[in-house]
Structure 1
């Protein structure tokens, strides 16, 4: 009689072949499933990349529109500031004549005080000093008012520019 291991050897070989066939089938199924999922993931990644590109283009267009709006507001604001500066320069040129008239009035009063008689000299001196102080106060007040007006005009122009830039972002 044959030894036992020779009698079971065909069964072991058949069992090994069946196990090999089952493992091969399982491995093929896993490979096919993985390939299917990988194809779906690749398609999803492609769609995501296309959507990202479209969204970036839309956002870039919005950003450019915002920047153009801000640039326009800045340009308009700079025109307002330039106009305010030109107005202040013109006002200073006009004020020179006013200050000259005040100086002439003070000089005339000083000259008339020197040429007047002694009876009215004391009253004339007080009036002259008051007129000279008034002329000096007028010149200083006018200078300060001009400086403040220029600063206020420029601040307003900057505020309008900022407001226009902000309004442009909300559109």
Structure 2
């Protein structure tokens, strides 16, 4: 037992040294972890700040794009409204043209009734042709007005689309 009494102080000293070394190692690990945690937290904060700044910039761009598109749509709607108003005006003036064609056809029909018998057949044929031509003229004019209105509106919509695309690509 005496050998154990002699070795016990060395064992205790060795345990103390091992405990001190383990404590120093553990302290170093915790300090290193704390340093890394602080660096990661700082990096995460920088990333969050950069993300917020980028989102603000992108939202500003998006709002500018949206305002440009809204302006293009408003301008396009003005053009479409003007084309519609022009079509209404053209229809109103076409009514006069159709009335003139009907008046000519009616005059020919009236002259047919008051003519002599030699020219009655020729007059009757001319009146029928005049009525038919007046009808064709009215239909052609109506269709041309419809096509012009559609073409004007399509052009206005195309210009609006081009303007909106141009606003997005600037």
TM over 0.5: yes
* Partner residue in 1 for 2:126: 127
CA–CA distance in 2 between the matches of 1:20 and 1:158? Answer: 84
* Partner residue in 2 for 1:71: 70
Unaligned runs of 5+ in 2: none
Displacement of 1:18: 1.3
TM-score, scaled relative to structure 1: 0.95
TM-score, scaled relative to structure 2: 0.96
CA–CA distance in 2 between the matches of 1:128 and 1:93? Answer: 26
Deviations 1:111-164 (A, max 9, x none): 111222211111111111111111000000000000000000000000000000
For CA contacts below 8 A with separation 6 or more, give which structure has more relative contact order. Answer: 1
Within 5 Å, give how 1:73-152 maps onto structure 2: 73-152=72-151
CA–CA distance in 1 between the matches of 2:4 and 2:111? Answer: 150
* Partner residue in 2 for 1:153: 152
CA–CA distance in 1 between the matches of 2:59 and 2:28? Answer: 46
CA–CA distance in 1 between the matches of 2:99 and 2:119? Answer: 27
Runs of 4+ displaced beyond 6 Å: none
CA–CA distance in 2 between the matches of 1:67 and 1:59? Answer: 12
Deviations 1:42-91 (A, max 9, x none): 11111111111111111111111101100000000000000000000000
CA–CA distance in 2 between the matches of 1:109 and 1:17? Answer: 133
